[in-house]
Structure 1
Amino acid sequence: MNDQRFIIEMGMGNDQYGMDYQKAAARAIESAIRRSAIPMYATTGLSHKDMRVQVTIGVQEPSKIDTIALAQNLPRGRAKVQAVYGGQNIVNPDTGDTIVVATAAVEAFLPDQSQNWT
């Protein structure tokens, strides 16, 4: 595979009350892709199906992430999500509640297009 990364966006999401890692991860992905627009598809004739999307989610308990469900919710491309150790758990000293913080890196790749440009 000779893919070239053409975009990377970072996002952060949290769940303040339920310690729901999945919810925090989904919010982190949404935060990242909300700031992205890829207008080249409208002008180049490339298909969104040619785009490979790689998402890395960082949370304190990666095993609590349903990566398949997160990938299915991405709007474009062929997506793969992996969960790794990262993010933060922040304990409220007054209540003992834990805020779950997830980070996301969303990368998009296309097959090498250099032959199409001069």
Structure 2
Amino acid sequence: MTDQRFIIEMGMGNDLHGMDYQKAAARAIEDAFRHSSIPMFGGLGISQEEMCVQVTVGVQEPEALDTDALAEKLPRGRATVRGIKGGQNVPNPNGDTIVIATAAVEAFLPSQAANWRQS
């Protein structure tokens, strides 16, 4: 049976002065993680290694991202990161550009239906 998504979190990050897409993307992923807690692993006896984590990061220049380095920073599960065109570049009057990244972090597990029964 295929894995089932059990959580999705969104985050936003930025780099105000360096126009660093990698920094903005890392901050967006961290922001998404700060919005979630998954206590079910201990409670249900599920190993965190069973979890597959898929991250999609939107920035104006996705080719500037080191997606492998971003995936290595994820704390749990088997992680993959992909960059897509998205986010925003906002020019400042002084000439530099604010980079805004968005991230969607999805977590998947094998179906747990066999572990439940109706009483």
Secondary structure (helix, strand or coil) at the match of 2:24 reads helix
In the TM superposition, 1:17-56 aligns within 5 A as 17-56=17-56
Secondary structure (helix, strand or coil) at the match of 1:99 reads strand
- Give the aligned partner of residue 15 of structure 2: 15
Cα distance in 2 for residues equivalent to 1:60 and 1:37 = 30
Secondary structure (helix, strand or coil) at the match of 1:31 reads helix
Cα distance in 2 for residues equivalent to 1:33 and 1:117 = 28
| Unaligned segments of structure 1, at least 5 residues | none
Secondary structure (helix, strand or coil) at the match of 1:58 reads strand
Query: Do residues 95 (structure 1) and 86 (structure 2) align?
Result: no
What TM-score, normalized by structure 1, do the two folds share?
0.97
Cα distance in 2 for residues equivalent to 1:44 and 1:117 = 11
Cα distance in 2 for residues equivalent to 1:5 and 1:19 = 33
Secondary structure (helix, strand or coil) at the match of 2:106 reads strand
**How far is the alpha carbon of 1:35 from its aligned partner?**
1.1
What TM-score, normalized by structure 2, do the two folds share?
0.97
Matched pairs, number: 117
Cα distance in 2 for residues equivalent to 1:86 and 1:114 = 36
- Give the aligned partner of residue 64 of structure 2: 64
The alignment-based identity, stated in percent, is: 68
Give the letter aligned to residue 116 of structure 2. W
Give the letter aligned to residue 63 of structure 1. E
Q: Deviations over 1:46-105 (max 9, x none)?
A: 00000000000000000000000000000000000000000000001x201100000000
**How far is the alpha carbon of 1:16 from its aligned partner?**
0.2
Give the letter aligned to residue 108 of structure 1. A
Query: RMSD in angstroms over aligned alpha carbons?
Result: 0.7
